């Protein structure tokens, strides 16, 4: 089941200190989206208190903890550009007074050079402030991570156009929720386009500085199904706008110049999609609706909508956590029985639902500074070794897209590997 979410790290602090729980309660900032009941609000709220108000003040006085993300391993430097898009064919379903559907996306791409192009923050300034305020995190406790993406850097043209991957975050998650994975893929030659699903994502900052909050109604089967339908329309609209960019047009509402070489970097004959939690459900539904998408990955999310009965005829990978798999999620079992293309179920052993997100790196980093007890860390990211799990997830996701989008098979997906005991082959 889904629970209302905010953005990722703030929830780790909120979960550890009950007095800091807003209506987002416990782990609700982690982008869980749609997942089985054993991983929903009850489990989330079991995280115990570690950070007292006096401790927070002492930490602020000592200076903020600078959060960071693991460096990507590939040979390519990374460029990033944020675009403001408007779909005038749709009203915003979550704010009926908005006559159009307004989105923010991030395009991450291999860069030719990055000198003179500053590294972009994990969240822009106003969104980060809202992120902390919404979750009652005192100023000066943590500083926003700085990514390895460089704002507006020219795209690398050597090597020709790049395969394109779409990313959809979990319910309430921001487009940067899985930046650790995004950057890894880009560093190995992919273009990754991350999507903020406005009023479903928690804090979406637009170029004029305003921050649109989450307004989606509370979790239920009808709401979740509608949410994934809306997200699917968002993703396919974004894909259409990428086609416009490749054709030489600039769909950005403010018509800010696109990075040099970006249009030539997009190979839209090779498109994949992946998502965490409800973003995984979005991946499946988008593949059903649009055959331009060759392959998809669901990172631990329950599924919704027509794909449950229609299935898919192209490759689709399920990756699950320790307490969620094909045997206990009816939506997975139902969809599985209708899959006609390549499909496989892998488990990140001893992982929690949010182990697929940046929380896997940020929580251990913060825990050492603010004193999260092991019970809180375990609730948030499981007991799998954080550094090893990041390597494993990056490796298997890249191997999958290399095989089914790029056409390079290293056979890692054929059978279990002694090099990655964290990855279990379930089905």
Query: In this predicted model, what pLDDT tens digit does every residue of 201-223 receive, in sequence order?
Result: 999 999 999 999 999 999 999 99
The sheet with strand 77-87 has its strands ordered as 119-121, 146-151, 77-87, 101-111, 191-196, 162-168, 266-276, 293-299, 316-320, 343-348, 423-425
Report the pLDDT value the prediction gives residue 178, as an integer from 0 to 100.
Answer: 98
Report the pLDDT value the prediction gives residue 136, as an integer from 0 to 100.
Answer: 63
If one compares 138 and 37, the residue with the highest pLDDT of the two is 138
Phi–psi pair at 205, nearest 5 degrees: -95, 130
**Percentage, residues of the chain above pLDDT 90:** 78
Given a contact cutoff of 8 angstroms between Cβ atoms, the answer to whether 263 and 154 are in contact is no
- Per-residue pLDDT, averaged over 36-57, amounts to 31
Report the pLDDT value the prediction gives residue 60, as an integer from 0 to 100.
Answer: 47
- Tell me the per-residue pLDDT of 169-207, one tens digit each, with 9 for 90 and over: 999 999 999 999 999 999 999 999 999 999 999 999 999
Report the pLDDT value the prediction gives residue 131, as an integer from 0 to 100.
Answer: 81
For Cα atoms 378, 379, 381, give the angle at the middle one, nearest 5 degrees: 60
Given a contact cutoff of 8 angstroms between Cβ atoms, the answer to whether 14 and 26 are in contact is yes
- Per-residue pLDDT, averaged over 138-154, amounts to 91
Report the pLDDT value the prediction gives residue 24, as an integer from 0 to 100.
Answer: 27
- Tokens for 314, please give them: 């192209």
Report the pLDDT value the prediction gives residue 207, as an integer from 0 to 100.
Answer: 97
| Residue 62 pLDDT grade (very low, low, confident, very high; cuts 50, 70, 90) | low
The pTM (predicted TM-score) of the whole model is: 0.89
Instruction: Name the 3-class secondary structure at 225.
Output: helix
Nearest-angstrom CA–CA distance, 196 and 208:
16
pLDDT at residue 12 is higher than 90: no
Nearest-angstrom CA–CA distance, 98 and 246:
29
If one compares 370 and 376, the residue with the highest pLDDT of the two is 376
pLDDT at residue 36 is higher than 60: no
- Tokens for 183, please give them: 């950057």
Nearest-angstrom CA–CA distance, 126 and 304:
33
| Residue 59 pLDDT grade (very low, low, confident, very high; cuts 50, 70, 90) | very low
Report the pLDDT value the prediction gives residue 65, as an integer from 0 to 100.
Answer: 87
Report the pLDDT value the prediction gives residue 20, as an integer from 0 to 100.
Answer: 29
End-to-end Cα distance, the chain: 23
- Per-residue pLDDT, averaged over 269-277, amounts to 98
Residue spans of alpha helices (H) in 40-98: 41-44, 53-62
Average pLDDT in the chain: 87
Residue 146 CB: number of other CB atoms within 10 A?
15
Spell out the domains of the chain, with CATH numbers in brackets. Answer: 8-425 (3.40.50.1820)
- Per-residue pLDDT, averaged over 232-251, amounts to 98
């Amino acid at each position: 089941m889904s629970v209302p979410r905010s953005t990722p790290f703030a929830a780790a602090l909120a979960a550890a200190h009950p007095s800091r729980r807003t209506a987002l309660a416990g782990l609700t900032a982690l982008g869980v989206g749609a997942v089985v009941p054993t991983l929903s609000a009850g489990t989330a709220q079991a995280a115990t208190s570690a950070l007292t108000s006096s401790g927070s003040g002492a930490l602020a006085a000592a200076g903020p903890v600078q959060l960071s993300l693991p460096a990507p391993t590939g040979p390519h430097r990374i460029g990033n550009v944020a675009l403001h898009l408007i779909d005038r064919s749709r009203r915003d379903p979550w704010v009926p007074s908005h006559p159009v559907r307004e989105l923010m996306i991030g395009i991450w791409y291999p860069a030719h050079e990055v000198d003179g192009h500053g590294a972009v923050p994990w969240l822009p300034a106003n969104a980060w402030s809202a992120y902390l305020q919404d979750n009652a995190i005192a100023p000066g406790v943590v500083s926003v991570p700085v990514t390895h993406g460089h704002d507006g850097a020219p795209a690398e043209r050597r090597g020709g156009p790049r395969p394109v991957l779409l990313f959809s975050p979990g319910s309430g998650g921001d487009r940067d929720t899985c930046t650790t994975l995004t950057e890894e893929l880009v560093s190995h030659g992919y273009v990754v386009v991350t999507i903020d699903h406005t009023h479903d994502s928690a804090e979406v900052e637009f170029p004029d500085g305003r921050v649109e909050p989450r307004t989606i109604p509370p979790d239920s089967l009808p709401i979740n199904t509608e949410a994934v339908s809306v997200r699917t329309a968002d993703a396919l609209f974004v894909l259409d706008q990428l086609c416009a960019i490749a054709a030489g047009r600039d769909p950005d509402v403010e018509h800010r110049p696109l990075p040099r070489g970006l249009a030539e970097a997009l190979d839209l004959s090779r498109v994949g999609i992946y998502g965490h939690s409800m973003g995984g459900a979005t991946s499946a539904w988008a593949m059903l609706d649009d055959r331009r998408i060759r392959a998809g990955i669901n990172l631990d999310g329950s599924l919704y909508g027509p794909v449950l009965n229609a299935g898919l005829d192209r490759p689709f990978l399920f990756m699950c956590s320790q307490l969620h798999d094909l045997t206990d999620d009816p939506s997975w079992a139902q969809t599985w029985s209708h899959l006609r293309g390549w499909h496989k179920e892998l488990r990140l052993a001893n992982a929690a639902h949010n182990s697929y997100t940046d929380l896997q790196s940020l929580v251990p980093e913060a825990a050492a500074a603010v004193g999260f007890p092991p019970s809180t860390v375990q609730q948030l990211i499981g007991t799998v070794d954080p550094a090893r799990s990041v390597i494993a997830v990056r490796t298997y996701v890249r191997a999958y897209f290399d095989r089914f989008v790029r056409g390079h098979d290293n056979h890692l997906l054929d059978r279990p590997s002694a090099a990655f005991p964290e990855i279990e082959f379930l089905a």
